[in-house]
A and B are shown apart, each in its own frame.
Chain A
Amino acid sequence: MELILRALPLLFQGLGVTLALSGLAVAIGANLGLGLALLRRSPSRLLAGFARAYGTVFRGTPLLVQIFPFYYGLGQFEAVRDNAPLWWIIGDGARCAVFALALNTAAYTAEILLGGLRSIPSGLLEAAEACGMSRALRFRRIELPLALRQCLPAYGNELVLVLVVKGTSLASTITVLEITGHAKRPMSETYAIFEVFAIAGAIYLALNLLLIGLVRLLERRLSNRAPPQAASAHSASEPKRTARPVSPGA
């Protein structure tokens, strides 16, 4: 019992690390993913091919196989050891984990975002072009907001389940002390295995519920401002509540 009381503050400390890892990884990875999605759509075959290869590699290999080479692998190269900023990143377990998680989530983010972009009815794009919008403006004002709203369920899923829960727990394998990292020692050294698992698991589940709840809240808030059938080709041009005649409340 007292073992559990001793483990509890450590596990909550780990919670802070988990959140920090996830937050930083998302901040970097989401932007990277946006860039990758843009690359995929570019007319240059080299850039599009690179983006597609990136996605295949980072989604087709296990996250562990991506983390380990960063932590253990890059250090073998002289060029990396002498390069101060690079060493700063991969020298520390936590920073390395953030980097690896960011690269991984960028690949999934790009895929989800592309799905959202593909689901936009072409009528909207043609209307924007007819109004004289440049491609960049059209992307910024029309495509991106619509795509984001469309892919929010899938993206929320990817964020919470894949990144926060599973991704950060893998950081424990390169000495990062987040929740799983703090749970491993009690589990391997004492007999209170199930208790520690239960507490750590409960923390993860609570985190899950909280984050998924936030995502659902965001979804609902975003969809309140749009007409009920925002995704269908015809009623998207009939705004019910907004006064502007062109864009459907985005």
Chain B
Amino acid sequence: MEFGLVAFWQDGWVGAILRGASVTIAVSLASMLAGLVAGFACAVVKWRGLFPLTLAVDVYTSLIRGVPELLGIYLLFFGSVELVTQVATAFGFARFADSGYAFVIAVIAIGAISGAYSTEVVRGALAAVPEGQVEAARALGMTGPRIFRRIVVPQMLRIALPGLDNVWQVTIKDTALVSVVGLQELMRTAYIGSGTTRHPFIFYAVAGAVYLAITLASQLGFNGIERALRGRARG
């Protein structure tokens, strides 16, 4: 039985793929945001040299980079089934505990990974802001937090943008890993579809094409932001 693109369209798999893709994007966005928050905090800790927190940050980044994400996902998943279900029930979210559970695990796991990479990027960007700017601001009588907020952070963001683009690409690809614990995102949808229809190739090809589309769209988005920011800088 031929299962070409026509049957794909007619059997309603397009909807499933799109739903999966939206879950992928949702997980990626949530993880990226969580990762940025964590990464920013850790980067500032390292930048300021706040011992012993720097040690904790180093352990964190080394662990994430040295241990495969899959292992971490298994840890979070198998280690906390009981805990999360109880917490969710306590808060009255028992209904959501099952379906939302994998989502929460995904965001925590991928967010942690994204955070480790973001830490490196933001740290490098903070170090790249010229010292002279901070000194000049201090000479003008600005106080520490204000200098940070108005001088360092805007410039740091512009420098960090390419690196953050890279982190985003990695984050999107890492969300595929959470399919092994059952989250109904793009990869999982393709897996289920291929198992159901026994025509795996077309499903994975479509999933791959969707990932590429997300990747390329993100690339265009980042290029646009970069161009806009460069227009406002003075060289």
Which of A's residues lie within 8 Å of B, judged by CB?
Answer: 56-57, 60-66, 68-69, 72-77, 161, 165-166, 168-170, 172-173, 180, 183-184, 187-188, 193-194, 197, 200-201, 204-205, 208
Is B128 an interface position by the 8 A CB rule? no
Contact residues in B for A200 (Cβ distance below 8 Å)? 67, 71
Name B195's closest neighbour in chain A (CB-CB). A72
Contact B173 A61 (CB under 8 A): yes
Is B155 an interface position by the 8 A CB rule? no
Contact residues in A for B200 (Cβ distance below 8 Å)? 68-69, 72-73, 75-76
Interface string of B67-100 (1 = CB under 8 A from A): 1111110110011000000000000000000000
Contact A65 B216 (CB under 8 A): no
State the CA gap A70–B172 with chains docked (Å): 21
Cβ of A80 to closest chain B Cβ, rounded Å = 10
State the CA gap A193–B205 with chains docked (Å): 35
Is B150 an interface position by the 8 A CB rule? no
Name A165's closest neighbour in chain B (CB-CB). B68
Cβ of A153 to closest chain B Cβ, rounded Å = 14
- Count how many pairs of residues, one from A and one from B, have CB atoms less than 8 Å apart in the complex: 117
Contact residues in B for A170 (Cβ distance below 8 Å)? 68, 70, 177
Is B54 an interface position by the 8 A CB rule? no
Name B201's closest neighbour in chain A (CB-CB). A73
Interface residues on B, range: 35 or more
State the CA gap A111–B196 with chains docked (Å): 37
Which of B's residues lie within 8 Å of A, judged by CB?
Answer: 62-63, 65-72, 74-75, 78-79, 169, 172-177, 179-180, 187, 190-191, 194, 198-201, 204-205, 207-208, 211-212, 215-216
Cβ of A158 to closest chain B Cβ, rounded Å = 13
State the CA gap A169–B187 with chains docked (Å): 17
State the CA gap A40–B22 with chains docked (Å): 34
Q: Which of A73, A180, A194 contacts B70 (CB 8 A)?
A: A180
Contact B212 A61 (CB under 8 A): yes
Q: Which of B63, B68, B190, B199 contacts A180 (CB 8 A)?
A: B68
Contact B66 A205 (CB under 8 A): yes
Contact A65 B176 (CB under 8 A): yes
Given contacts A62-B211, A68-B200, A72-B200, contact A188 B78 (CB under 8 A): yes
Contact B67 A56 (CB under 8 A): no
